[in-house]
Structure 1
Amino acid sequence: MSSSVEPPTGSHAGSAGGDTPSLDLRSARDLVDSLRGLGHSARVIQVDDALEGTLAALAIDLCVLALHGNAGGTGHVQARLDRLGVPYTGPGARLVAGAYDKLLARETLARHNVPVPTCVELAGDGPDLQTAALLGWPCVLKPRLGSASDGLVHLASRAAVDASLAASGEFFQRPHLLERRLSGVEVQTVIVDGEVLGSMQVERGESERGRPCAVLSCPPELPRSVMTGVENLARLAASALGLGKAPTRVDTIVNLRHNERVLEVEPLPPLHRDGVVALVARAAGIRHAELVARTLAPALRLALRRGPVLSAPVAQLSL
């Protein structure tokens, strides 16, 4: 299976699951549709400062989270739901935050012998560019807190870093990571219930209209022996971060001449029907409704222990 995907108007450039309200809403609507097909009463909830009152007024039994970007990745919403005693899908606040913070995640992965790109942190008014220069060029600059390719900038030289800092000083007040750009094939592996469902090859580029797009190939066009190693590595990476029970996506760069490197472990991958997780599941013979049912199961069991399930709303976060 091979397809070309172009982000909707208004999405973050280069994003394949970024911090965008449009992606949140697409995921939420598809989840609601499948939940209703499974016999649940479901609705989209706009999560804001009044979340606690909204949940109480609607007598919510559990929340299926459609959170992408800082909103869900920081774990703040999960912590609020924990305080309310409301079951929800996906990892808890601590595990989500530990994976979303790229620097902390890479330190954890390295301790478990999972290969990751070498990087340095750029933070504060005077980032240590002398140390950064030791990485060599070209490099990639990305936010320390972020999903996949959100906010990613390719830099060819030290001068390019200086120019970016000068042009976007406020932007760089947030911690960023500078890493040596790795060449190879990007593979995104999907893990559910601790098992690999399959993988997707992602080739990024631009459409004829000049917008970022990606060509997706499932299964990846790589030797089976290579893919076995990649998927074993993905399983190890997810496990090291305490993830993989709920849908988890592990992004790896594969170079046939060098070792693979794990780029990201996404604890809250988008679950819309034309996203990587759903497409990989479909290739494995799993319909979207079945994928949603498997995602829902742990929270549903907890809700059943608490009392009769009246509804299964989808919480959709807007920044």
Structure 2
Amino acid sequence: MVSRRLVPFPPRRREARTKAHQGAACTAHRHAASRASERRFGVPQSARRPRCAAYRGLRTQGLRDRRRAHIREAREFHRQPQGQGACRGHRSLDRVRTQCSQTTLRRRARPRSAHSRGFRVSPRDFGKVAVLMGGRSAERPVSLKSGSMVLAALKRKGVNAHAFDPKERGLDALIAERFDRAFIALHGRHGEDGTIQGALELLGIPYTGSGVLASALALDKWRTKLVWQACGIPTPRCELLTRSSEFHAVATRLGLPLMVKPANEGSSIGMTKVRSARDLPEAYALAANYDRLVMAEAFVDGVELTAGMLGDAPLPLIKLETPREFYDYEAKYVAHDTRYIIPCGLPPDAERIIQDEALRAFRALACSGWGRVDLMLDHAGKPYFLEVNTSPGMTDHSLVPMAARRAGLSFEDLCLRILELARLGAEGGNRVE
């Protein structure tokens, strides 16, 4: 007769057998739960025991190509429904997608144009908007005109916009009056040099245009050139001028004619085109009235072009022609004989190449949101970049609205698009290519 009894496992064998059994069970559950969804990727699930039955309506997880330019692949994880009776397993819920799916809004397919897309934000969603205008710089009159036109455009679109002049009111009023966003229509010092941007960062109010670093760099034409030279971006040769400079030697090295300009002013204020070395001291004295940093720049004979920037895409190029010595303050804001030629007359491929280079110059300074890049095209067709304007004019003579109109954006829609791009920490996502 055969006697049967249980034979206990040694402790180590029992432990090993138990772990092996548990691991096999977890693996079996894992593959049963998501074998169909992960057959192509083999991405493992959690080895922990789930608290409820696996949800079998999963999308596969793995690397996904992003459909926007310059964005690399990103890992996409499982998405599960949310609400009463939904799974409460170890996979997190996608609340944003669930909320979007529950709404009744359905956006129509947008046009392919980078500039004629529908707006993702309702005018009421902007909240209370301060249009910053005026300020303390030499460009105050232009800023007041730009700001007035922006303010009127935003109001026509239903935005709760209000004028705000930092010269007349302290910035603490932005908090006291509960402003939600700021549209910067200030020009020159204290408006484009990173000063107001830094204040808004501290106040936590999203603002339009470039951030602190980019604004400070772009207004300083001397340091702009240093960055561009380091990045291999073509820009005219230049030298700093002082009272003790050997002006004849400077003229010999750079050639004549040449441009003398204050390094930290815009709108061609204090700028002179010098044709003779004996006129250099007077040109220097004029520029020094506006800035302690004065530079002489080699003049590029050719076509003057400007490239507006909106978001991550350049606007159509504009060719500038004026009967004056150069495109000075009078030609920009007063004269009626300045010609703005758009399309600029270049072959489409040549224009695209210059637009790409202009965007590269814009990004090299960490600029973002919107702006304008000015350049000269010599007779050989080579571009030379002059400067970046991070808060361009928005008057009836201004260039960015002209280029936007050519791209299919009205002045009102342009203002809305710029306001939509308002944010804090503007330098965070920039890259140099």
Among 272, 285, 293, the alignment partner of 1:153 is: 272
CA distance 1:260–1:301, change in 2 (3 Å): closer
Mark the structure with the bigger radius of gyration. 2
CA distance 1:172–1:216, change in 2 (3 Å): closer
Q: How far apart are residue 132 of structure 1 and its match?
A: 5.0
Aligned to 1:312: none
CA contact (8 A) 1:120 1:132 kept: no
How many pairs were matched up?
Answer: 279
Cα distance between partner residues in 1 of 2:250 and 2:378: 26
Q: How far apart are residue 148 of structure 1 and its match?
A: 4.8
What per-residue deviation string (whole Å, max 9, x for no partner) do you get for residues 162-216 of structure 1? 3445x6596287211101111111110111111112111111235xxxx543211
Among 417, 420, 423, the alignment partner of 1:294 is: 417
CA contact (8 A) 2:236 2:385 kept: yes
Cα distance between partner residues in 1 of 2:386 and 2:165: 31
Aligned to 1:162: 281
Cα distance between partner residues in 2 of 1:142 and 1:170: 9
CA distance 1:135–1:35, change in 2 (3 Å): same
> Which structure exhibits the higher relative contact order, with contacts defined as CA atoms closer than 8 Å and separated by 6 or more residues?
1
What per-residue deviation string (whole Å, max 9, x for no partner) do you get for residues 24-49 of structure 1? 12211121122223322111111127
What per-residue deviation string (whole Å, max 9, x for no partner) do you get for residues 119-156 of structure 1? 00113x32353345311111110111122522210111
Cα distance between partner residues in 2 of 1:127 and 1:76: 31
Aligned to 2:315: 197
Matched, 1:106 2:230: no
Cα distance between partner residues in 1 of 2:291 and 2:311: 38
Cα distance between partner residues in 2 of 1:101 and 1:300: 23
Q: Where do 1:230-245 residues align within 5 Å?
A: 230-243=354-367, 245=368
Q: Where do 1:32-181 residues align within 5 Å?
A: 32-48=151-167, 50-123=169-242, 125-129=243-247, 130-131=249-250, 133-165=252-284, 168=286, 171=289, 174-181=292-299
Paired amino acid for 1:157: S
Cα distance between partner residues in 2 of 1:231 and 1:46: 34
Cα distance between partner residues in 1 of 2:313 and 2:286: 42
Aligned to 1:186: 304
CA distance 1:280–1:163, change in 2 (3 Å): closer
Cα distance between partner residues in 2 of 1:197 and 1:104: 25
Paired amino acid for 1:119: C
> Percent identity of the aligned residues?
26
Q: How far apart are residue 257 of structure 1 and its match?
A: 1.8
Paired amino acid for 2:345: E
3-state SS of paired residue (2:161): coil
CA distance 1:168–1:101, change in 2 (3 Å): closer
Q: How far apart are residue 217 of structure 1 and its match?
A: 1.0
Aligned to 1:314: none
Q: How far apart are residue 70 of structure 1 and its match?
A: 1.9
Answer with 108-117 or 255-264: which moved more.
255-264
CA distance 1:191–1:25, change in 2 (3 Å): same
CA contact (8 A) 1:269 1:277 kept: yes
CA distance 1:128–1:194, change in 2 (3 Å): farther
Cα distance between partner residues in 2 of 1:169 and 1:247: 28
3-state SS of paired residue (2:179): coil
Paired amino acid for 2:321: E
Aligned to 1:307: none
CA contact (8 A) 2:369 2:422 kept: no
CA distance 1:249–1:164, change in 2 (3 Å): closer
3-state SS of paired residue (2:234): coil
CA contact (8 A) 1:140 1:154 kept: yes
Aligned to 2:351: 227
Paired amino acid for 2:142: L
Paired amino acid for 1:179: E
Paired amino acid for 1:187: L
Q: How far apart are residue 110 of structure 1 and its match?
A: 1.5
Among 392, 405, 417, the alignment partner of 1:269 is: 392
CA contact (8 A) 1:148 1:266 kept: no
3-state SS of paired residue (1:134): helix
Cα distance between partner residues in 2 of 1:155 and 1:185: 19
3-state SS of paired residue (1:71): coil
CA contact (8 A) 2:207 2:424 kept: no
What per-residue deviation string (whole Å, max 9, x for no partner) do you get for residues 207-239 of structure 1? xxxx54321111112333332222121111111
Q: How far apart are residue 93 of structure 1 and its match?
A: 1.6
Answer with 106-115 or 252-261: which moved more.
252-261
- In the superposition, the TM-score normalised over structure 2's length comes to 0.60
3-state SS of paired residue (1:268): coil
Q: CA RMSD in A?
A: 2.5
Paired amino acid for 1:105: T
CA distance 1:300–1:155, change in 2 (3 Å): closer
Larger strand proportion of the pair: 1
Cα distance between partner residues in 2 of 1:189 and 1:277: 8
Cα distance between partner residues in 2 of 1:49 and 1:27: 17
**Which runs of 5 or more residues in structure 1 are unaligned?**
1-17, 303-319
